[in-house]
Structure formats: C-alpha cells, structure tokens
Structure 1
Amino acid sequence: MSLKDRYKVDRCPMAHKGMGEVWPAHDTLLDRPVIVKILATMDADLLRRFRREARLTARLDHPGVPAVYDLGAHEGLPFVVLQKIDGITLTDLVAEQGPLPIPWVAAIGAQISSVLLAAQQIGLVHRDIKPSNVMLDRSGAVKVLDFGLAVVRGDERYSRITQTGQSLGTVGYMAPEQILGRSVDHRTDLYGLGATLFDLLTGRAPFDDATTMTTVRRQLADPPPRPAELRADIPPELDDLIQSLLATDPEDRPSSAAEAYRLLAPLAQDRPPIPGVLADNAGPTQAYTAVLGQPSAPASSAMMSPAASVSLGIEQGEKQAVRLEAAGEYRAAAREWRRLAHHIAQQRGDDHPLVFTFLERAARAHIPLGEHDRAIRQLSKVLEDRLRVNGSDHEAVVELGRQIAQLSGTQPTPPPPRRPPGSGR
C-alpha cells in the first residue's frame, strides 16, 4: 500500500493501538523509515480525536516525544506519519528483564520528568502516563507516546474530548482526581510518573487488585504504597519521591516535574548494560547528550574554583529546603535535604559532617507531618553513623540521643564512659 505516492507501507501492521493501526513504512521521498498510524473508522468523534492527538504531539517539541512528519488521508481514512523508534516499551522491558536496576529506573524517570516539564510549560496534561506509553530506544533515550487523552488547560481547541465508550486513563496508573472526573493539571501526570517508577522498580503496578472496582477503591482510600517494602535496595530518597508522587491529594505531590528530575538525575549514574535492549557501544545520541547535559556555569560563578562552585550549589539547596519548610511543604523539604546529603556524600564522602546535618534536617521534616516513628528511625540511623565517626561523648551525638529520646517519650540513656586509649577491655 502506498500513501500520497510517498509512503510505502509494509504488508503487516505492527499493532492496534489507541484509535488506529500502526504500520511500519518507508518515506520514499526522504529515504527513511517511518511509522504510519491509520484511523480504521470514519466515526466523527474518533476522527476529531485522531487529528487532535497528532497536533498535540507535534506541538510538544521535545526530544523525548516522537516527531510528527505528516498528516493526511487515504481513501477517506486519516493517517499520521511519525518518527520510527528503534526500541521497546517499558511494559515489554520489565516483562523481559524483571525489575530494573536503580540507575536505569532513575534515568528513565528523569527523562520522563523532562518531557512532563516541557508539557507543563505549555499547559498540556498527558493523562495516560504508564509503562506501555513510554519507549526506551537502543541509545537509552526515552520517548513518551500516545497523546490521545491529552488536554491543554485554557485552550478549548484541545481540551474538549468525547467520553462516549472511552476510558479516560488506565486504572492503577490514573490519578484519583482523574478517576473522580475532577479538574486535572500537571500533577495528574506526576501520579502516572510515580506509578510507572513503582512498576519499573518492582515489576508490578502500585495498585493491582483482582478487579477494576477493588483497584479503584484502593487507589482512592488506601495510603500510597512504598516500593522499598518490596525491594530492599531502593534508596530512601527514591522511595520517598515515589510515595509523594502517588499521593491521593494533588496538593501533597511535588509542585513540578523539575523536583522529580532534580532527585532522579543524580541516581542515574553508572548504568549497567542491558544486553539485547541497548546498543553495546556509545552511539551519536549518547555523545551528543553527554555534552548538552553539562550545565553552563552562571556568569557569577564562571571563574569559581570547583570547591567554590560546589559550595554555591549547597548554599542554594539549603535556601530552597528552608523555603519549602517555611511554606509548609515538609515532604518536599525532606527530599531536598536528602538530595543535598547525597550530593555531599558523593563529593566529600559519607562521613562528612554536612551529610549528618542534612540527614537530620530531612528526618525532622517529618515531625510536623505527625510521622514521629519515621523521624525516629531516620534519626537513629544518623546517630549510629555519628557514634561510629565521632564517639559517644561528642556534643552532636549526645544532643541527637536527647532528641530521639524526646520523640520516643523516654529518658535518654547516658552514653557509656569513654575508655582511655590503650586501656583494653
């Protein structure tokens, strides 16, 4: 089959997806492989939605979204020509590989966050972020697919969508406000991001009951699950991020995808190979993005020493965490304190005093939320590390022990007397 005497379509479709069939094809004019999606019906509502999806996909100009090359019709049926992605959906990736390594989960999540941030800037809400709507190509780059349910806030051309016979989202990944038919915004997609990260880490959706009804009931009534309860090697800051992304109330989720990106990007280092999925050698995409991903130094710090630049970043992070606490955004503040601690540990070692200080601040941020047990657990871990490094009679150790005892409602236990060097047992 040939479309517009230009696109030579293969004999067999790749898949039935969304509103149409997806076919591999070749653009004979520009001599390149492409994907053609053809609407298989002339239903007026579906026709409008099909064209609307193509225009929305084209409007979101981002490397994490497939390029739209053409929009036309063949024998009365509309088609759209898209960039061909040489990759695998995240659903198939997890089915083949099982739960993914932490660095790959972080890398994929950071890239999705970048797409969502671009969408937020133009007021676009995808409304169907889930593993089957995200592809990982052989270079390791992520592509977010299927904008058939997307809306643009404040733009009536893109915000009207017929609901007849259509499920507006996917149970288990769809945000509670979407289930209830309430107003949506960029935080709706953050819920989908959280559910996707949970799936990549554990191999299952965060809410996945025997029936649709019980799954929805759990999404609306139960507290968000923690992936760390199913997998022990998940860093606390990643576990906290996912639980906050899955918050039932949008007000309890991060305020922006940028917050998720800031936490995920540092965890995406030292990614292991995924044989059969990723290219074995670093290709042109990695080479290009490796340079592009290096941030430009601010004019005021262009001549700073590396140590001075690090100090400036820490100072800015501290100010941000303090602002979040002052605004009552304690979970976000806790994540920022943990991010700072992780950054200092990478730069200066796990036993640097600032690592302890920032982890203590992160733990205490949970106290105004009434999460005393969680604060005690985290402070106790810091106390254990401080004892190892500083000894039992150090002022910070004694003060931390007093704080833990106060939170626990017990009297602090006096530290054991410190023996002089060489005194033996």
Structure 2
Amino acid sequence: MTASVVMLSPVVPSTSLKDRYRLARYPLAHKGMSEVWPAHDALLDRPVIVKFVAATDLDLVRRFRREALLTARLDHPGVPAVYDLGEHAGHPYSVLQKINGVALSDLVAEHGPLPIGWVAAIGAQISSVLLAAQQLGLVHRDIKPSNAMLEPSGAVKVLDFGLAAIPDDDRYSRITQSGQALGTIGYMAPEQILGQPTDHRADLYGLGATLFDLLTGSPPFDDLTTMTTVRQQVAATPPRPATLRPETPAALDDLVHALLAPTPDDRPDSAADVYRVLAPLAANLPPIPGVLDESVTAVQAYAAIVGRTPPHHGATVAPVREPSDVELEQAVRQAEQMQAAGEFRAAARQWRRLAEHRARQHGDDDPQVFDLRLRAARTHLALGEHDRAVRQLTTLLEGRERVDGPEHPAVRELREEIARLSAERAGSLPLPQQYAPDADR
C-alpha cells in the first residue's frame, strides 16, 4: 500500500445521509479501504446497507464509483441491487440491498465441508451470475467464499465488484492501485497474479477454488508462505477434491480440476458449461441447521416456477439431458451396491435422484417412480431416521391411494408397513433386522 493512502472515518454513528438514510450505531464491517454500515431508508421504510470509501486516495475513489456502476449494470437476482449513489463529507457512498445471509467462508468455518448437493447448488447459482457477467463482458476478478452469501431461502448472492472490469469498455477497463494485489492469493487466477490480460475464465478459476473449499473445508492452494502458494497456483498440477473427499462425484471432481487449470485455455469455455455439470448434482438438498428456513419461502416458490420455464431458442444454457435406459440400470445397480456396503445416505440420495429422473419422463404416478421413492424412504430406516422415513412413506401412501384406490394390494401392504413401524416406534416391537443401522455407523 502506498503511503499516500490515508484512512479516515467518513461518518459518525446515526449520521443521516440526504435526510433519508440513517446509519446505525456501529459499522457492520471494514473491508479494505471501505466501511460498511447498516442503515434505514426513511423514505421507503426499509433496511439498507451503506458502503463508504474510508480513504482519500483518488484511485480508490474512482474504483469505488466504478464498482457501484458495474454492480448496477449487472441485473441478476444473484447480485445485490444498487439503490443510490452519493457523497458525504468528501467520501462517496453507495446504498445497497441488505442481504440476510451468511458468507460461504463463515458457513464452511461453522459447518465444515458442505453436502455435495449444496456445493453443486451454490456453484450453479454462482455460475449463473458469471454467465450474466460474461454476457456483459464483465469480469469480477475476486470470486471467493467470503464474496458470496447464502440466504435462508437457499439463494446465493455474489458480492464485492470492487475489482470488476469490462476489458472492452474504456470506462471500466482500468484499475490502478499500486502496492496491492488485484485479487486474493489462492483464489485469483494465475494470469491475474502474473499481470496478464484477464477474461471470464479468470472468474471460472475463482469458482473452481471456491468449490474446492466448499467440498473439502480448505482452499486448494494454501502453503506456508504467499510465495510458495503463488508458485503452486502458477506451475503445479491442480489438486482434485476427491483426494480429500473420496465420495465426490467424478463429474464434479473433474470439473473442479479443470477450473483450476493454470492456463485459461485448459478451463471450460463458459460459465454455461459449468452450469450444465453442476445443475444435475444439485438435488436432494439436506437442511443446514441455523442457516436455511425449514418452510418454503417466497423466493423458493417463485424460483420453482421460473425453473420450469423452457429456455428461449438459442439460449446458451441447454436443458439437462435425461439418462438413457442403460445409464439408469447402471445407476440402480450402483444404489444397490451402496446399500449393500452400508452407504445408506448415499444410497438414499441415489434412489431419490433416480425417482426424479423417472418422474420427469413418465410423471409422478408412474409405478417405478413409486418403487424408487419407496426404496429411498426405507433406506432412511437403516440410518435411524425413523420419523423421516414414516413421513415419506405416508406421502407415498396418499399418492398411491389416489391412483390405485385404498384396496389395491400395494396400498394395503404399505398401510400395514406404516402401522407396523409406528408400533415399533412406540416401543411395542423391536426394529426388524433388515432396517437395523449398520453397527459401525
């Protein structure tokens, strides 16, 4: 950092900006040369975030204004909205949408490596933001876990466009800040480290490093010194998350490995290619206690319908390909092998995934869909998740009664099974051996 940069406190608590935005008593955070304050918009009666430049360096001020303009141009639900831009006591500020969520870095610190479905779901959302940025020619240049937040609805917001640039637009292409690295070591692409031109593939590198972190609980490059970390990023073979987390699906392991390639040409061509790999893996998402709402939120309800809308002709994101009959048979055998090996959690997810594939092709009332969901529900008994299994079985019973009637043999058998399990839960009968959890689990 140069000696000319002087840190100042731009405001005092409870300051009112434009007689409209009243700051809270304490700042929310200090991020580099910026201060972030919670505030209240008196005109529209809503909470907002106010971000100030807390320094007098002209380069920092220009960078700050550019960040606000670029963020405002990127109209995407995964990016906080910019409400206003102003100046107070010589310090520019922006007024942003308040995000209620947890940073991915804090999420991993608290919960450890995330469930694979959630890693894929988070990555797919970030890749959709990067796709929108790519369509604008915008490069974020600082994708990392601390620059994305997970909201209680499960939605992801990508933050901090302070290093963003549009290389083909002179108004947004230059960023000068001598003495500081333009990015975060361990997550910034090798071409950024080397001061070479960057494009959207630099953001894909940051996404790959973020996915590695979410999968393993640690950054892909984190050596004892900055110099050795940089050397690994620029010259070493990219790591594979499966070496630290063997259950990582091969498709996800290969994707992360490719995203971390030192040379941009060896990475995927587009965020759309990344999305196509991640979207099918973002299924059967388990709850994250204390982070996600347990009930269906308005955002989830809205997104569920939007997700059914077919893409327009020529859209860059192709629909997910359904597996062939041979692939489905292989997946069924794989689930059976998982169950036989005592990998009940993985087996349950596989059964549900197969059921959803079959339902998309043949509808929820298809008998094979029922059988696959039945196997998934029964697998939860082996995990000791009795209540969850009974809830799923009861839902299946209601659907099967509607289709086949209350006296169908399969309906009567399922009704008797639920009654028996309820009695066992009450303690009147021992748990049958076929449902007993593995002794070593």
Normalising by structure 2, we get a TM-score of 0.69
- Amino acid of the structure 1 residue aligned with 2:133: A
Deviation, structure 1 residue 77: 1.3
Alpha-carbon spacing, 1:297–1:199, altered in 2? closer, same or farther (3 Å) = closer
- Structure 2 distance, partners of 1:181, 1:40, is 27
Alpha-carbon spacing, 1:218–1:26, altered in 2? closer, same or farther (3 Å) = same
**Quick check: 1:148 aligned with 2:162?**
yes
Q: 1:343 aligns with which of 316, 323, 326?
A: 323
Deviation, structure 1 residue 280: 1.5
- Structure 2 distance, partners of 1:298, 1:4, is 43
CA contact (8 A) 2:23 2:39 kept: yes
- Structure 2 distance, partners of 1:119, 1:345, is 37
Alpha-carbon spacing, 1:41–1:272, altered in 2? closer, same or farther (3 Å) = same
Q: 1:242 aligns with which of 246, 251, 256?
A: 256
CA contact (8 A) 1:344 1:352 kept: no
Instruction: Find the counterpart in structure 2 of residue 195 from structure 1.
Output: 209
Identical aligned residues as a percent: 68
Q: 1:219 aligns with which of 225, 233, 242?
A: 233
CA contact (8 A) 1:246 1:253 kept: yes
- Amino acid of the structure 1 residue aligned with 2:37: W
CA contact (8 A) 1:345 1:352 kept: no
CA offsets 1:303-344 (integer angstroms, 9 cap, x no match): xxxxxxxxxx9xx99xxxxxxxxxxxxxxxxxxxxx86x834
CA offsets 1:18-48 (integer angstroms, 9 cap, x no match): 3310000010000000000011122211111
Instruction: Find the counterpart in structure 1 of residue 73 from structure 2.
Output: 59
Superposition pairs for residues 10-409 of structure 1, below 5 Å?
A: 10-296=24-310, 343-344=323-324, 348-350=328-330
Alpha-carbon spacing, 1:347–1:23, altered in 2? closer, same or farther (3 Å) = farther
- Structure 1 distance, partners of 2:250, 2:131, is 24
Deviation, structure 1 residue 98: 0.2
CA offsets 1:1-34 (integer angstroms, 9 cap, x no match): 1111000110100100133100000100000000
CA contact (8 A) 2:138 2:167 kept: yes
CA contact (8 A) 1:126 1:150 kept: yes
- Structure 1 distance, partners of 2:232, 2:31, is 28
- Amino acid of the structure 2 residue aligned with 1:288: Y
Q: SS of the residue aligned with 1:21? A: strand
Alpha-carbon spacing, 1:134–1:351, altered in 2? closer, same or farther (3 Å) = closer
CA contact (8 A) 1:18 1:148 kept: no
CA RMSD after TM alignment: 2.1
Q: SS of the residue aligned with 2:86? A: strand
CA contact (8 A) 1:116 1:257 kept: yes
CA offsets 1:174-219 (integer angstroms, 9 cap, x no match): 1111111111000010000000000000000000000000000111
CA contact (8 A) 1:127 1:149 kept: yes
CA contact (8 A) 2:59 2:177 kept: no
- Structure 2 distance, partners of 1:165, 1:32, is 39
Deviation, structure 1 residue 76: 1.6
Q: SS of the residue aligned with 1:125? A: coil
Q: SS of the residue aligned with 2:330? A: coil
Q: SS of the residue aligned with 2:71? A: helix
Q: SS of the residue aligned with 2:84? A: strand
CA contact (8 A) 1:187 1:256 kept: yes
CA contact (8 A) 2:141 2:203 kept: yes
Deviation, structure 1 residue 351: 5.8
Instruction: Find the counterpart in structure 1 of residue 433 from structure 2.
Output: none
- Amino acid of the structure 2 residue aligned with 1:82: L
- Amino acid of the structure 2 residue aligned with 1:343: P
Instruction: Find the counterpart in structure 1 of residue 427 from structure 2.
Output: none
- Amino acid of the structure 2 residue aligned with 1:97: H
- Structure 1 distance, partners of 2:133, 2:69, is 14
Aligned length: 316
CA contact (8 A) 2:115 2:215 kept: yes
Gaps of 5+ in 2: 1-14, 334-441
- Structure 1 distance, partners of 2:293, 2:304, is 16
Alpha-carbon spacing, 1:14–1:352, altered in 2? closer, same or farther (3 Å) = closer
Alpha-carbon spacing, 1:126–1:298, altered in 2? closer, same or farther (3 Å) = closer
Gaps of 5+ in 1: 300-312, 318-338, 354-425
Normalising by structure 1, we get a TM-score of 0.72
